[in-house]
Every structure is written in C-alpha cells, then in structure tokens.
Amino acid sequence: MRHLYFLIALAPGLALAAAVSAPQGDLPLTAPVPGGIAIVCVGRAPGPAPQVVFDGQRVLVARVGDVWHAVVGLRLALRPGAHELSVLDGETSARTIRFEVGTRDYETQHLVLDPRQVEPSPRNLRRIAREQESLKRAFSTFSDAAPESLGFDLPSEGRVSSSFGLRRFLNNEPRQPHSGLDIAAPAGTPITAPAPAYVLETGDYFFNGRTVVLDHGQGMITMYNHLSQVDVAKGARVARGERIGAVGQTGRVTGPHLHWSVSLNNARVDPALFLSSDVRKQDAAGLRPAALGGAPAESAPVRCSE
C-alpha cells in the first residue's frame, strides 16, 4: 500500500516538471526581426515537446494550451529573410520549419569616452578575451529544466536611459550595437531577479564591471552589469523579486545604471519583449520594445498548422 501512496503523491509533480505550461499572456511579444524573437509552432501536445535547434543552438520550447511553441532568439547581426529551425520529434529524423525574419532600423547613438577605455592596453585585451570566452560559455548554456515563467518584472526601479539595439559610435568609431536595456538609477538601488532562476556566474569584468548572470532554464539567460555590489553566490537559487545586487558604475560606464541583457539560444534580444503584462500596463515610452519600433506593445497571433 505504501508504494502506491508514493506513486500517487509523485505523479502531479512529475507532470508539472515536464514542461512550461504558460498562459498565452505569459509568452513574450513576437518581434521576428534582428534583436527580436520569433515564436514558431513546432507541434501539438499531448505529444512530447520536440527538440528544436537554430544556428547550432538548442531553442526554448514552451507549451501554451495544446501547442508547443519554439521561442527563438534572433541576434542583432542576423540577416533578414528566410531561416530554418531543425525540429526533432523523439528518435525520428529531423524535419525543418521555415520562418521569416524582417528588418528593423535601430536608432544611432554617439558616445564620447576616455580614449584609454576605448583602446585597452595589450594586458587588458588579454583579460577582455578571457572574459568574453567565459560569458560566451554562460550564454551558450542550455539546462533542460523549463523556465517557470517567460514574463519578467523590471529588475530595478529607474528610468530607461538607453533602449536595446542602439547602433553605437564611441569617439566616432563604430562599436557593437547596444545588446541590452539600460536603467538609470542612483548607486545602491536594489536589483532583483525578474523571474525565478539559478545564479550561473558572477564576476568583475573589464567592460561589464561587477556582474551577475542568471539561468532561467532552456537557454534563457539574463545578465546584470555595472553593479556596486553582488549579493548572490554562483549556484544559488533565486526567487522572483529576490535581491541579487545593487546599481553601481563599475566597468566601462559614464554614470550609475543597470545594463540588463536577455539572451535566448545565445542571441541577445530586446528585454522589453519579456516584460509581464503588469509592467507593460505602465506604458512608459522607454518600456516599449525597440524591436517593435517603439510602438505600443502588441503581439501577432502565432499560426499553427502542425
């Protein structure tokens, strides 16, 4: 009798762990452009979640109702046009699903910085290379556990000072486009986890300053830069709203702010696409996704013929 009791007690937990079963409102906004995300129907439940690969990286698959959706991060440098997902159902051979990526012209921003920061010394270049390797590893992480939530709270109070995707020039030299969202706030302002996660990495980096990287599951990784202090340790579990650090101006910055990056399948995408409907209701101009051209947030329905 005892064994039977344990089986019954375990069954609901197992079912819950199998997949994200998010209400429609919890899916991020669709913005199939570079720096945005494509949401592509890849199958029907109750069949098992298919495995999806894009650009050599595993892709997050979320269940909404009876539909499996691939939530595909599209990096800023991705070429517009037709792209393909590779989809694997169980042990059978892979099929491909095509989807279209449109164009988006992000705004241009000119910055003036101390030339010593723009042209790092050979010693600092070696340090930067090591740090980029370690961040690349972090962003390429794919843990099998599905995220508990695909909707984010704002990780800090403050004003959006630089939106995602800005095409940047430092002292008139073209540099990497802005890969996150900046929230300006006084040093010491608390930074909290926008959704449940594990602490994947912490460190003090040349460009990024004091940093926390969170793993939300299935390749959904978020990063917090320029902190005055880090309040969590690598490997710790953090709940939504739990403090992870404080706003500062460490690394390459002109003033205290939080640089917040969101990554899916190793592609940095517009964090504003993931803000929960409660945050979106505030409708502040800075919270409107740049990947949607700054228009009031609305998501196109996902067609599914699977």
Binding residues (CB under 5 A) for Zn ion: these are: 180, 182, 259
Cα 261 to Cα 33: distance, rounded to the nearest angstrom: 17
- Closer to Zn ion at the Cβ: 158 or 180? 180
- Closer to Zn ion at the Cβ: 178 or 288? 178
Cα 241 to Cα 152: distance, rounded to the nearest angstrom: 10
Cα 296 to Cα 69: distance, rounded to the nearest angstrom: 24
Cα 41 to Cα 290: distance, rounded to the nearest angstrom: 24
Of 87, 75, 95, 69, the C-alpha closest to 33 is 75
Least distance between Zn ion and beta carbon 259 (Å): 3
Least distance between Zn ion and beta carbon 180 (Å): 5
Sequence-distant (≥ 6) Cβ neighbours of residue 114 within 8 angstroms: none
Least distance between Zn ion and beta carbon 159 (Å): 13
- Closer to Zn ion at the Cβ: 37 or 166? 166
Least distance between Zn ion and beta carbon 181 (Å): 7
Of 240, 249, 242, the C-alpha closest to 188 is 249
Beta-carbon count within 10 A of 38 CB: 23
Which pairing describes strands 220-230 and 257-264: parallel, antiparallel, or unpaired? antiparallel
Least distance between Zn ion and beta carbon 178 (Å): 6
- Closer to Zn ion at the Cβ: 182 or 270? 182
Least distance between Zn ion and beta carbon 97 (Å): 33
Residue number of the CB closest to Zn ion reads 259
- Closer to Zn ion at the Cβ: 32 or 180? 180
Least distance between Zn ion and beta carbon 253 (Å): 8
User: What strands, in cross-sheet order, belong to the sheet with 37-44?
Assistant: 37-44, 67-73, 60-64
Of 229, 289, 290, 285, the C-alpha closest to 256 is 229
In the chain, what's the furthest Cα-to-Cα distance?
A: 75
- Closer to Zn ion at the Cβ: 86 or 161? 161
- Closer to Zn ion at the Cβ: 257 or 288? 257
